């Protein structure tokens, strides 16, 4: 392939966070040729990108990062200048039911990409970056106090977080062993438009809309640190372009919510948006058996990226959550498309 532009590979670009990253890069960097590689699992949805699909600097490739030969040929063809790697199996509950796809995609798939990047870039003097998108869940669970930082020891507790921790270790090992230029960021829980309704916020919005029970695990006392997805995408842009090779960046919202308080806030906003009697959605709250090995608390100290790269979350949570609720209420086709078919089987198996 004759290259006239820098080729950037974004994996998992049809998923929740990936689609926001692809949109930001396609619109902001006409000088890049952006290749979105995605297997289109249940979580991948090209509808997420319908507004940028026809842009000339964008190309979609359907494929599986677990296929070593396929990945090697893809790198041979495009000679990518950089990689932003988001493709993953991403839902903790699914990893508890069946960890194996998490090991395949998150560990073996990542190792395939790393190997292809080493092979492609080893004789080149150009600047290349392999940027791996990871999660704060690799650090395990916090008690009431303290924050995760870039130096917190790894202590993953679920099959999902163990597979992401494994992938992070391989990324660092490829830098140490083969001299690959890598960056990792570990982010807290994201929310916003286009998130698949298996995760807490979109699942509960959909259930409130349909007046179905809201299955709160345990007593609803677990705490998560929520960040609006577009703020994460902006952080990824900054880290990719201005981050230091070999470094790790923690990204979070300084925005901790106990699950039950968050669910009550959602109920209040939905009552108001749907013109329902105040308090009626909260009646749907149902306490169910706790998730196995449920991490109590995640909270990120993101001062490094703020101090070094000038990043800050742009939205107050109350504003972001209201915007998110409105997006799901307005995009009924999107919601109906993703909740038909196999979603119903997943829902029955998970919630009875
Ligand atoms: P998602 O499940 O919405 O999307 C994952 C995407 O990866 C989907 O489009 C899917 O089709 C694709 N994919 C899965 N397996 C693949 C394979 N074998 N080959 C090619 N493509 C494949 O996930 P998300 O929430 O957007 O998360 C994206 C990344 O960010 C993940 O690496 C995740 O670990 C990380 N992360 C997520 C959060 C969060 O709150 N969602 C927080 C921190 C980090
Ligand atoms: P989730 O969105 O699955 O993200 P993660 O487990 O990666 O943090 O869950 C967020 C929190 O909400 C977590 O503490 C589990 C809880 N939860 C429920 O109480 N009920 C549910 O049906 C789901 C999906 C999550």
* pLDDT, tens digit (0-9, with 9 covering 90-100), for 187-235: 999 999 999 999 999 999 999 999 999 999 999 999 999 999 999 999 9
For residue 216, how many C-alpha atoms fall within 13 Å in the half-sphere facing its CB?
A: 22
Residue 130 CA to residue 114 CA, distance in Å, equals: 8
pLDDT at 158: 98
Q: What topology is assigned to 6-192+226-257+293-317 in CATH?
A: Rossmann fold (3.40.50)
Is the CB of 216 within 6 Å of ligand 2? yes
- 135 C-beta closer than 6 A to ligand 1: yes
Q: Model confidence at 37, in pLDDT bands (50, 70, 90)?
A: very high
Taking alpha carbons only, the member of 287, 91, 296 closest to residue 200 is 91
Please state, in angstroms and rounded to a whole number, the distance separating the CA atoms of residues 149 and 78: 36
Q: Are 16 and 44 in contact (CB under 8 A)?
A: no
- Integer CA distances (angstroms), 293 to 6, 69, 96, in order: 44, 37, 9
Structure tokens at 281: 């959605």
Q: Is residue 133 within 8 Å of residue 236, measured between CB atoms? A: yes
73 is catalytic: no
Respond yes or no: is residue 160 known to be catalytic.
Answer: yes
Q: Is 90 in the pocket of ligand 1 (CB under 6 A)?
A: yes
Which pLDDT does position 258 carry in this prediction? 98
168: how many CB neighbours lie within 10 A of its CB?
Answer: 22
Q: Quick count: other Cβ atoms within 10 Å of Cβ 208?
A: 26
What is the chain's mean pLDDT, rounded?
97
- The yes-or-no verdict on residue 284 having pLDDT over 70 is yes
Beta carbon of 86 within 6 Å of any ligand 1 atom: yes
Residues 6 or more apart in contact with residue 58 via CB below 8 angstroms: 22, 26, 34, 36, 52
Edge-to-edge, what's the strand order for the sheet holding 129-135? 58-62, 32-38, 6-11, 82-85, 129-135, 182-187, 248-251
Residue 125's pLDDT band (boundaries 50, 70, 90)?
Answer: confident
Question: What would the mean pLDDT of 174-185 be, rounded to a whole number?
Answer: 98
Q: Taking the domains of the chain in order of start, what are their residue ranges? A: 6-192+226-257+293-317
Q: Report the alpha-carbon distance of residue 302 to residue 285 in Å, rounded.
A: 32
The answer to whether residue 183 scores a pLDDT higher than 70 is yes
DSSP β-bridge partners for residue 288? 217
Contact 280, 203 (CB under 8 A): no
Q: ∠303-233-199 over CA atoms, to 5°?
A: 95
Q: 168 vs 57, 89, 161, CA distance in Å?
A: 30, 14, 10
Each residue's pLDDT tens digit, 6-15: 999 999 999 9
The verdict on whether 343 is a catalytic residue reads: no
Kindly indicate the confidence band of residue 341, based on its pLDDT and cuts at 50, 70 and 90: confident
Q: Look-up: residue for tokens 């090995």?
A: 293
- When pLDDT is averaged across residues 263-286 and rounded to a whole number, the result is 97
Query: Nearest residue CA, atom 10 of ligand 2?
Result: 200
**203 in ligand 2 pocket by Cβ < 6 Å?**
yes
CB atoms within 10 A of CB 60: 17
What value does the mean pLDDT take over residues 136-157? 97
State percent of the chain over pLDDT 70: 99
For residue 105, give the ligand nearest its CA. 1
Tokens of 26: 């396609």
- Report the separation in Å between the CA atom of 178 and the middle of ligand 2, taken as the mean of its atom positions: 38
Per-residue pLDDT band at 352 (split at 50, 70, 90): confident
261 CA distance to ligand 2 centroid (A)? 13
168 C-alpha to center of ligand 2: Å? 23
Given a cut of 80, whether residue 121 has pLDDT beyond it is yes
**pLDDT score, position 4:** 75
Q: Given 89, 136, 225, 230, which residue is catalytic?
A: 136
With the most atoms of ligand 1 within 8 angstroms of its CB, the residue from 10, 16, 232 to mutate is 16
d(CA 194, CA 111) in angstroms, rounded, equals 28
Helix 342-351 vs helix 332-339: crossing angle, to nearest 10:
70
Which among 102, 213, 217, 298 is the best mutation to test ligand 2's pocket, defined by most ligand atoms within 8 Å of the CB?
217
Region 38-55: mean pLDDT is: 96
Residue 1 binned pLDDT confidence (cut-offs 50, 70, 90): low
Strand partners, 251: 187
Lowest mean pLDDT among 50-59, 119-128, 291-300: 119-128
Q: Which ligand is nearest to the CA of 350?
A: 2
Long-range contacts of 107-111 (CB under 8 A, 24+ apart): 107/163, 107/166, 107/167, 107/170, 108/66, 109/64, 109/65, 109/66, 110/65, 110/85, 110/167, 110/170, 110/171, 111/167, 111/170
Separation in Å, CA 198 to CA 92, 93, 175, 264, 271: 10, 9, 35, 18, 22
Give the residue-averaged pLDDT of 309-333. 96
Is residue 188 within 8 Å of residue 138, measured between CB atoms?
Answer: no
- pLDDT-based confidence at residue 2 (cuts at 50, 70, 90): low
Instruction: Determine the residue of 199, 219, 227, 350 to mutate for testing ligand 2's pocket, defined as the one with the most ligand atoms within 8 A of the Cβ atom.
Output: 199
């Amino acid at each position: 392939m004759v290259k006239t532009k820098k080729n950037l590979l974004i994996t998992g670009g049809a998923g929740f966070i990936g689609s926001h990253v692809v949109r930001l890069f396609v619109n902001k960097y006409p000088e890049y040729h952006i290749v979105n590689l995605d297997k289109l699992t249940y979580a991948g949805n090209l509808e997420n990108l319908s507004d940028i699909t026809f842009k000339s600097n964008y190309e979609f490739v359907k494929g599986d990062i677990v296929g070593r030969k396929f990945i090697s040929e893809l790198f041979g063809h495009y000679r990518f200048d950089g990689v932003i790697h988001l493709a993953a199996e991403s839902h903790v509950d699914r990893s508890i039911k069946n960890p194996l796809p998490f090991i395949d995609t998150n560990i073996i798939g990542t190792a395939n990409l790393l190997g292809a990047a080493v092979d492609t870039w080893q004789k080149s003097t150009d600047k290349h970056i392999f940027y791996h998108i990871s999660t704060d869940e690799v650090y395990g669970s916090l008690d009431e106090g303290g924050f995760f930082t870039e130096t917190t020891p790894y202590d993953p507790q679920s099959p999902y977080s163990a597979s992401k921790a494994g992938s992070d270790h391989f990324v660092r090992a490829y830098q140490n062993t083969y001299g690959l230029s890598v960056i990792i960021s570990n982010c807290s829980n994201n929310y916003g438009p286009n998130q698949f309704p298996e995760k807490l916020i979109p699942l509960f919005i959909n259930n409130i809309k349909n007046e179905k029970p809201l299955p709160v695990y345990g007593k609803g006392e677990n705490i998560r640190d929520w960040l609006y997805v577009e703020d994460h995408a902006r952080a990824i842009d900054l880290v990719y372009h201005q981050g230091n090779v070999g470094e790790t960046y923690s990204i979070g919202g300084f925005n901790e919510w106990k699950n039950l308080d968050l669910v009550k806030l959602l109920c209040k906003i939905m009552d108001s948006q749907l013109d329902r009697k105040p308090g009626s959605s909260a009646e749907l709250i149902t306490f169910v058996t706790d998730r196995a090995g449920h991490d109590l608390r995640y909270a990120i100290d993101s001062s490094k990226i703020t101090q070094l790269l000038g990043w800050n979350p742009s939205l107050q949570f109350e504003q972001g959550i209201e915007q998110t609720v409105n997006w799901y209420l307005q995009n009924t086709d999107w919601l109906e498309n993703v909740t038909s078919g196999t979603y119903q089987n997943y829902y029955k198996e998970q919630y009875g």
